[in-house]
Amino acid sequence: MIKNIYGKHSFYFSALTIIFSVIVLTFGKNLEFFNQSVVPFICLFLILSIGVSHGALDNYKANKILKIYKMDSKLVFYLSYIFISILIILSWIFFSLVTLIVFLLIASHHFGKEDTAFLIKKHSNFDQLIYVVKGSLIIFSPLFFHTDETLKIFETLLINNNFLIFIKNEHWLINICIMLNFLGYLYFVFRNNFDNFQILFLDLLLILIINFVFSPLLAFTIYFCFLHSIRHIISIALEIDEANFSNGIKLFIKKALPLTIITAILYLLAVFFIANFSGFNTAIMQVIFIGLASLTFPHILLEYLIEKNETKN
């Protein structure tokens, strides 16, 4: 059932992506002001709603962890989650380059696995490596198509200028990584004996299209919200109610709404605070990416601990 729903989602996502891409390519010059002034706020809104919500059931998943480790108080989970998030923010401030690299590696594995694992029944150690290679297309495609613009985003994220110059001058490294990304997709096509290969093919094609047509921030937002997050929400809805997908979606929204709203409020407060020193565009960039990193680490750790213990059992 999940493959069928993912297939329909890929089709609709493809159709909408192509339509909007044609519009932008046709009227691109007339949209430059809109792109610079309005798009960051649209991206922030989408990430604070759809993007954040796909991890907003972590407080329910905490029940599994507490049961596994035989703990009674949910307060321990909340304090641990918040502590890790704050630790990541502090780490980014003092060790920005190292934290960025670690974050990109973990995010690449997460994207590669979440967008592929439903096709694979058993995961080998080699698969885990290729998940990183496949998922890193989200990072290298904007660097390939919009190098200067992507490096400006890295600059707002407190990354050392020497590293940015190195990336710009050694563009051949990005070309090699893009080729490896292609091979990562091909690996899973063969790994799955070409079953449902059209989903993988569409993923590859659409990620390249959105990064070619749209600005790096908008391209990431489109991928993160409408491909990655929607798929994750679909899988959660089916876990909640496998027999009735529509009811599963309704229950997901009801359960995810409180934590999504709380997170969104904290993000917005951070935006207004940082904007006093750096301006709104820089504040939005920092809150989106550093904020996502602070949530991604505890979210992925929680998923890993649950999966590890479920595999043992």
pLDDT in tens, 252-297: 999 999 989 999 999 999 999 999 988 898 999 999 999 999 998 9
- Output the pLDDT for position 232: 87
Instruction: Round to whole Å and give the CA distance between 305 and 313.
Output: 13
Angle formed at CA 201 by CA 195 and CA 203, multiple of 5 degrees: 115
HSE-CB of 77 using CA atoms within 13 angstroms: 21
- Output the pLDDT for position 62: 80
192 backbone dihedrals φ, ψ, rounded to 5°: -100, 15
Residue in 34, 100, 159 with CA at minimum distance from that of residue 296 = 100
Q: What's the token pair of residue 218? A: 């908008």
DSSP letters along 216-282, please? HHHHHHHHIIIIIIHHHHHHHHHHH-SS-HHHHHHHHHHHHHHHHHHHHHHHHHHHHHHHHHH-HHH
Of the chain, the end-to-end C-alpha distance in Å amounts to: 25
Q: For residues 104 and 139, is the Cβ–Cβ distance under 8 A?
A: yes
Q: For residues 111 and 203, is the Cβ–Cβ distance under 8 A?
A: no
- Output the pLDDT for position 122: 76
Spell out, as residue ranges, where the chain has pLDDT lower than 50: none
Instruction: Round to whole Å and give the CA distance between 181 and 183.
Output: 5
Instruction: Round to whole Å and give the CA distance between 138 and 107.
Output: 9
Q: What is the rounded average pLDDT for all residues in the chain?
A: 88
Q: For residues 5 and 13, is the Cβ–Cβ distance under 8 A?
A: no
